[in-house]
Structure 1
Amino acid sequence: MSPLNGPTGIGTSAARRFAPHVRVADAACDIASLRLDCPPPRREDPLLAARINERLLNWADQVGLYHGQLERVRAADFGNLAVLCYPESDDLDLLTVPARCALAIWALDDHYCDDPSLGAVPALTGTRLATASATLDRVRLPARYEERFEHATRTDPVLIGLRSAVGHLAAITSPIQLDRTRHSLLTLFSALAQEASWRAARHQPRVWEYLVNRQANSFLPCLTVIDALGTYRLPPADWADPRVRQAVGTAALASCVANDIYSLDVENHAAGQDFNLPRAVAEEHSCTAQEALRISADLHNELMDRFHARSEELAAGAGPELRRFLDGVLAWCAGSLAWHRSSPRYRSGRVPGAAIHPEDRT
């Protein structure tokens, strides 16, 4: 899950073109000085996280994800992501389910969109994402072509992993809960395809364009399973309420802004074109890298303030399940921020199991 960069300043047309890839200089970026408004994580349990990570390594090896690079799975510490983000459960089997789903989604992004060493081919991104969508939605073809489609899904580790992860999710969710997550994943794949079109056209999206994409290319699939991990069910009418969707979407977007901030260092060293909010802000507003980071942090805090306000409004007339779900969304945001601050996937020089950032304890 990433972002971008490109030329010119305020008022440029949407059709502007990429200048040579501009990277925000590492030396100019002091992420530790930023203030990101979010409560501390509600739980830390390195031992439980380590047990989940071992399960993820075995699973990734079985399905063929990150072949020859499994230490990347261990270093990313998705087990800790599950422990930090879903504090309502301490059940190893239950927590492994969203961790497996997270790994499948990140692997799809790496293998299809971002990392040539894992087989990413820009010209094939749209086609591969369309096949992933068909796999996720269990498209049924005429009999003479069904076997060919099934063969394709059985020989691609990304599709094997995606199908396996969603299958495990189906075992702990109701059909309505599963459909909620499936729909959010299909939306995510569509947004990743939009990113691919930007790369193909060498188009630099304006900040508002980028944020629109990030509404869909977000952590929403992770948020949709909060009630399943808490072993309760959010009423379908609550999820269908536009005010609830706006509140949850706002929190998901805030977490994506934090992701963009903490992934900046890694993306500065990545091959090819990448999309990133601080870089887009720097280009559009012709400001320094540090100022772009500060603006991005301010946007994160504005979105979190909006989420708090919407949650308070909703809670006033909400049933117990919705109040619990909204509280779970806040807990998820807190855990996600803590994970981004500690995971070597985003913080170079850090090691798996590193201590939570001091800011998370205040």
Structure 2
Amino acid sequence: MPEPGPSPLQSGLPAAAAHFGAHVLANALSHGLAPAQASAAEVAVPARPALPSPPVLPFGTAPAPEPVSVPGEGAAEVRQAGPALERIMRGPSGLGTAALHLAPYAEAAAPAAPVDALHIPGLYYHPVAEPDPALVAEVSRRIKAWALDEVELYPEDWEGQFDGFSTGRYMVACHPDAPTVDHLMIAARLMVAENAVDDMYCEDHGGSPIGLGGRLLLAHTALDPLHTTKEYHPQWAQSLHEDAPRRSYRSAMEYFVQQSTPAQADRFRHDMARLHLGYLAEGAWAQTDHMPEVWEYLVMRQFNNFRPCPTITDTVGGYELPTDLHALPAMQRVLALAGNVSTIVNDLYSYTKELASPGRHLNLPVVIAEREGLSDREGYLKAVEVHNELMHDFEAESAALAAACPVPSVLRFLRGVAVWVDGNHYWHQTNTYRYSLPDFW
């Protein structure tokens, strides 16, 4: 048997880093900079047109997620960060990286979990600081104005549910390095639009697996536009205004492409296609009343998950992770694990909400209990173990990639994804309007 070649981590990372370094040097020379000035050029954030909006609020400061211990039986596990992971959470350092350093977050004391939050004993997570209330209020105000005035997203009797989703708190917690409120609004619009498609096409606000593929295909063209003849183009363009999900996708994407690079926009379209494929798989299982094996369910959840949200962390942060570094197998694994662990968090916190909804909702505790012959409680507790293992894998893979490819944009992106994972958990844990926990303890 022939000897296997080097792993992607061995062969791809140095090559990608070298390619990026060559790009930085060439860019510096093209602007008349000496080689010694190249490191500063490497981290410069390109100027992008600002979206029209009210004046930007100043950001407050908030501590970053750090190791924390919760005493007592069933306490949350404590992060044991190695040097590489600590470096990710601390942010990049060295010549030319001042713009990426997040010192106000990294140097503050670790926050405690909110007293009135939901607590899943044994769940491995990292508490985050309460988001800046003024910033949350401003994002909340703007996203509601967008939903009502620009895209007519929901009828009047859904207002309470929209407010209860707490989009502003969600986005501020997940993107503490966003340079302006406009950048936070990029993520906020996309999050609300994705939730509208899920609710109105797939779930309990008129959703159905019947005809789902056709609806998703037409909605996807609001993100990835149709290129057709002059005769048929106006009909397609008009179709993007025909229902709330398409209106919200179209508008959110228009704002996104104003702040993103073409590569970032294409990356996002790819991840949204992944998401829609996952919706279709779950819808097909609902139509055939199929109870998947646990591994099959986890396959579906790797597509029907939160991945499009952390994948835009650089756009929201006002910088770009270069395409060749984003495409590394090691980076793709980090992003897949981040999406998977964040989505299982949703399965755990939405468990009782889904059980109380009409029909049978698939989530990890339900599938484990059904397929492995366990009680509801045992299935739920095993799902917590699955979450924890994936969380540890996510952190280990992030640390390995940071050590192997210590490019400033890579370090900042990894830290942004880790913070997004923590912020996503915080939103689920504190959103008692939407979620409650089973009485399994």
Report the Cα distance in structure 2 between the residues aligned to 1:46 and 1:201, rounded to whole angstroms. Answer: 46
Match of 2:20 in 1: none
Q: CA deviation at 1:193?
A: 1.1
Cα separation, partners in 2 of 1:344 and 1:42, compared to 1, 3 Å: closer
Counterpart of 1:38 in structure 2 is 125
**Is the counterpart of residue 182 in structure 1 residue 269 in structure 2?**
yes
What secondary structure sits across from 1:220 in the alignment? coil
Flag the 1:134–1:142 CA change in 2: closer, same or farther, 3 A: same
Call closer, same or farther: CA 1:104–1:276 in 2, change over 3 Å: same
CA distance in 2, matches of 1:278, 1:155: 37
Contact in 2 for aligned 1:113/1:125 (Cα 8 Å): yes
State the AA in 2 paired with 1:324.
R
Q: Does 1:86 align with 2:175?
A: yes
1:138 is matched with 225
Q: Which residue of structure 1 aligns with residue 281 of structure 2?
A: 194
Mapped pair 1:341 → 2:420: no
Give 1:325 shift.
Answer: 0.8
Query: Pick from 410, 413, 421: which aligns with 1:322?
Result: 410
The ranges of structure 1 where at least 4 consecutive aligned residues each deviate by more than 6 angstroms after the TM superposition are none
**Residue 42 of structure 1: CA displacement?**
4.9
Q: What is the correspondence of 1:103-252 to structure 2 with a 5 Å cutoff?
A: 103-115=192-204, 118-252=205-339
> Contact (CA 8 Å) 2:368, 2:379: kept in 1 or not?
yes
Q: 1:40 Cα shift? A: 1.8
- 1:102 offset after TM fit, Å? 0.4
**Mean CA deviation greater in 126-135 or 259-268:** 126-135
User: CA shift at 1:339, angstroms?
Assistant: 0.2
The superposition leaves residues 198-245 of structure 1 with CA deviations (integer Å, 9 ceiling, x where unpaired) of 111111111111110111111111011111122221121111101110
Q: CA deviation at 1:345?
A: 5.5
Structure 2 match to 1:100: 189
Q: Residue 56 of structure 1: which of 143, 146, 149 is its match?
A: 143
Residue pair 1:278, 1:292 contacting (<8 A) in 2 also:
yes
Whether the 8 Å CA contact 1:65–1:158 is kept in 2: the answer is yes
Unaligned runs of 5+ in 2: 1-117
Q: Which stretch of structure 1 is more off in the superposition, 152-161 or 136-145?
A: 136-145
CA contact (8 A) 1:42 1:87 kept: no
Whether 1:305 and 2:392 are equivalent positions in the alignment is yes
- Partners of 1:159 and 1:131 in 2: CA distance: 8
Uncovered stretches (5+) of structure 1, i.e. residues with no partner: 1-30, 350-362
Aligned to 1:166, the other structure's residue is in SS state: helix
CA contact (8 A) 1:111 1:120 kept: yes
Q: Partner of 2:359: helix, strand, or coil?
A: coil
Deviations 1:112-170 (A, max 9, x none): 0002xx33233121110111122221012233322222222111111010010111111
Question: Shift of residue 108 of structure 1?
Answer: 0.4
Moved more, 37-46 or 334-343: 37-46
Residue type of the partner of 1:113? C
Cα distance between partner residues in 1 of 2:358 and 2:143: 27
Tell me the distance in 1 between the aligned counterparts of 2:369 and 2:433.
23
TM-score by length of 1: 0.84
Which string of whole-angstrom CA distances, capped at 9 and with x for unpartnered residues, describes residues 318-359 of structure 1?
21111111111111111000000112453159xxxxxxxxxx
TM-score when normalising by structure 2: 0.69
Q: Which of 1 and 2 has higher RCO (CA within 8 Å, sep 6+)?
A: 1
Inter-partner Cα distance in structure 1 for 2:159 and 2:221: 27
- Contact 2:183 2:317 (8 Å CA) reproduced: no
1:270 paired to 2:368 = no
Matched-pair contact (CA < 8 Å) for 1:251–1:333:
yes
d(CA) in 2 for partners of 1:76 and 1:348? 14
Q: Deviations over 1:10-32 (max 9, x none)?
A: xxxxxxxxxxxxxxxxxxxxx73
Count of residues paired in the alignment: 317
Q: Residues of 1 paired with 2:207 and 2:238: CA distance?
A: 20
Conserved in 2, the CA contact under 8 Å of 1:223 and 1:329?
yes
Amino acid at match of 2:307: L
SS of residue in 1 equivalent to 2:240 = helix
Query: CA separation of 1:33/1:97 partners in 2, compared to 1, >3 Å: closer, same or farther?
Result: closer
Q: Which among 358, 368, 371 is matched to residue 281 of structure 1? A: 368
* Residue deviations 1:236-291 (CA, integer Å, cap 9, x gap): 11111011100111111011111100011211111223221111111111212221
Shift of 1:109: 0.1
The answer to whether the 8 Å contact 1:262/1:346 transfers is no
Is the 2:352–2:435 contact (alpha carbons within 8 Å) kept by the matching residues of 1?
A: yes
| Contact 2:128/2:422, CA 8 A, preserved across alignment | yes
Query: Which AA in structure 1 matches 2:270?
Result: H
2:164 corresponding residue in structure 1: 75
